[in-house]
Amino acid sequence: MTSSRIAPWASAGAQRRLAEVEATVSADLTAAGVADTVRKALDAHTAQFDDDGIVLYAGTNVLSPAAAAAHRTSVSSRPSMGWPGEKYQVGLEHLDTLEVLAPLLVAELVEGAHAEVRLQSATLANLAVYAAFARPGDTIAVLPEAAGGHASHHAQGAPAIRGLTVVDLPYDPESLDIDYDRLPAFLRAHRPRIVVIGASLMLFPHDVAAARAAADEVGAVLLYDASHVAGLVAGKVFQRPLHEGAHVLTFSTYKSFGGPSGGCVVTRDPELARRVSAVAYPGMLANYDAGRLGALAVTAAELAEWGGAYATDCVTNAQALAQALHDNGFRLARRDAEFTRSHHVAVDAAPLGGGDAAAVLLGEAGIYLSGIGLPWQHPDEGLRGLRIGTQEITRRGFLPADQQAIAVLMRRALLDREPPHRVRADAVALRREVDAR
Ligand SMILES: *Cc1c(COP(=O)(O)O)cnc(C)c1O
């Protein structure tokens, strides 16, 4: 096997691909050559996703034109450290405007009082919450990985950096939610400092009030990770975690929220906010890329105006797509007769060779999404599900009536096993048709 210079410890599949790319990019390493190689890669990538792709990947989005215009890359390399009025650097008065607008608008939008918007991802936002409210050796309770519990909740991720023990919350695969009957006794037995709810697959809302009551009994902080559903939360659709009782809300700003890459921590409690803020800066950050805060502020202001309609459309599209997939012969995750109340849909891909294999095939057909674990899967089965998010196609103007066409493309690639390049031509044609409206 040819091994990779970059990561000789990576998996065999990763090493094969890394070595292949390492060989091709090494041809011309002059500055001009590298600039040319980079430009071609970026042009091809953006054409593939932004111009031609049907992007159903749940953890992405497109910026609005106003938000994109407000994102200044040159500002990223001008450090801006500390609060306005006590900055380490001088001459940053103009940026103070962004640094005030972004947290004010974000906090208001998700019904909180204080927003920490400087962390550069939700993973770091979760780590800041762990560091603020748990000490090394403490326990946190999170959703099982097969139920969408994220790497940043689990032992291999951010909790390990804080030296935390992680236990899985009791889960009910039938209701696709926490087993609330078993929750209080479970928390009394494990006494976690933090209870983390919210996941990478969220078809149905949590009973936040029940989780909060159980957390209160053991004095735990209830963290709702809304990374995927933040756009719906902003639209007051699906659920309102802080209003319903979560102490702290974290989320990614680039998924359904539709803003630039970043992470937020929002709470109503000034003491909790103060502790998170001290961990974030100067604990975890020096420069925090103020270049993206303008785009974040514009995104939040836009969601305050039309986020309710956007969120409703995301859910309506997801429900229409789920029904169309069901009608075309796919097996879906469901609770009784319902497929979803969010912008997510989950397909059981076991009959399709598993979620990862199905996602690769769809990628060749110009439809981009990912595998996901499903609560009823076997521990060493791989990712059994295919996860779909409708947030990007909704922003691009796809309507419920277009969902049958997407389901047919997926059926042709995955069930009829048509050559992917033929399906891809029709996927691109569908994008063109919707773009032209
Ligand atoms: C995507 C995701 C994250 C991580 O988000 P980043 O901003 O990419 O770090 C955290 N939590 C959940 C539940 C997620 O799905």
Query: pLDDT digits over 16-30, tens only?
Result: 999 999 999 988 999
Torsion of CA 114, 312, 347, 407, to 10 degrees: -140
Averaged pLDDT score across all residues of the chain: 97
pLDDT at 31: 96
Averaged pLDDT for residues 47-59 = 97
Averaged pLDDT for residues 280-286 = 95
Q: For ligand 1, which residues put their CB under 6 angstroms from it?
A: 59, 121-123, 150, 152, 198-200, 225, 227-228, 252, 263
Q: Which of 20, 48, 26 is nearest to 367 (CA)?
A: 48
**Would you state the structure tokens that stand for residue 374, as one six-digit string?**
């499903």
d(CA 93, CA 71) in angstroms, rounded, equals: 18
Query: pLDDT digits over 99-108, tens only?
Result: 999 999 999 9
pLDDT grade, residue 56 (50/70/90)? very high
* Ligand 1 atom nearest to 262, measured from its CA: 7
Largest CA distance in the chain: 64
**In 219-302, where do the E strands start and end?**
221-225, 248-252, 263-267
* Ligand 1 atom nearest to 120, measured from its CA: 7
pLDDT grade, residue 93 (50/70/90)? very high
Averaged pLDDT for residues 151-180 = 96
pLDDT at 1: 60
pLDDT at 348: 97
CA angle 329, 334, 337 (to 5 degrees): 90
* The residue type at 421: H
Rama region for 191: left / alpha / beta (φ>0; ψ in -120 to 50; rest): left
pLDDT at 379: 83
> Which residue's alpha carbon is nearest to atom 2 within ligand 1?
227
- Whether residue 59 contacts residue 372, with contact meaning beta carbons closer than 8 Å, is answered with no
Query: pLDDT digits over 232-271, tens only?
Result: 999 999 999 999 999 999 999 999 999 999 999 999 999 9
Name the H helices within 134-207: 158-161, 183-190
- Angle, helices 122-133 vs 270-278, to 10°: value is 110
* Ligand 1 atom nearest to 153, measured from its CA: 11
pLDDT at 27: 87
- Given ligand 1 and candidates 126, 252, 261, 344, which is best to mutate, with the most ligand atoms within 8 Å of its CB? 252
* Ligand 1 atom nearest to 255, measured from its CA: 1
pLDDT at 104: 98
pLDDT at 160: 96
pLDDT at 5: 92
Distance 32 CA to ligand 1 centre (A): 36
Distance 123 CA to ligand 1 centre (A): 6
Distance 425 CA to ligand 1 centre (A): 32
389 three-class SS: strand
Distance 23 CA to ligand 1 centre (A): 32
- Whether residue 315 contacts residue 238, with contact meaning beta carbons closer than 8 Å, is answered with yes
Query: pLDDT digits over 65-92, tens only?
Result: 999 999 998 999 999 999 999 999 999 9
pLDDT at 207: 98
Averaged pLDDT for residues 153-170 = 96
CA angle 387, 389, 390 (to 5 degrees): 145
d(CA 370, CA 213) in angstroms, rounded, equals: 35
Give CA separation, 9 vs 12, 138, 155, 218, in Å.
9, 31, 20, 42
d(CA 227, CA 294) in angstroms, rounded, equals: 20
pTM of the model: 0.97
Distance 252 CA to ligand 1 centre (A): 6
Domains of the chain: 66-300 (3.40.640.10), 307-435 (3.90.1150.10)
Distance 106 CA to ligand 1 centre (A): 17
Q: Kindly tell me if the per-residue pLDDT of 2 is higher than 80.
A: no
- Given ligand 1 and candidates 225, 227, 228, 264, which is best to mutate, with the most ligand atoms within 8 Å of its CB? 227
409 three-class SS: helix
- Whether residue 138 contacts residue 164, with contact meaning beta carbons closer than 8 Å, is answered with yes
Distance 227 CA to ligand 1 centre (A): 5
d(CA 268, CA 48) in angstroms, rounded, equals: 42
Q: Kindly tell me if the per-residue pLDDT of 64 is higher than 70.
A: yes
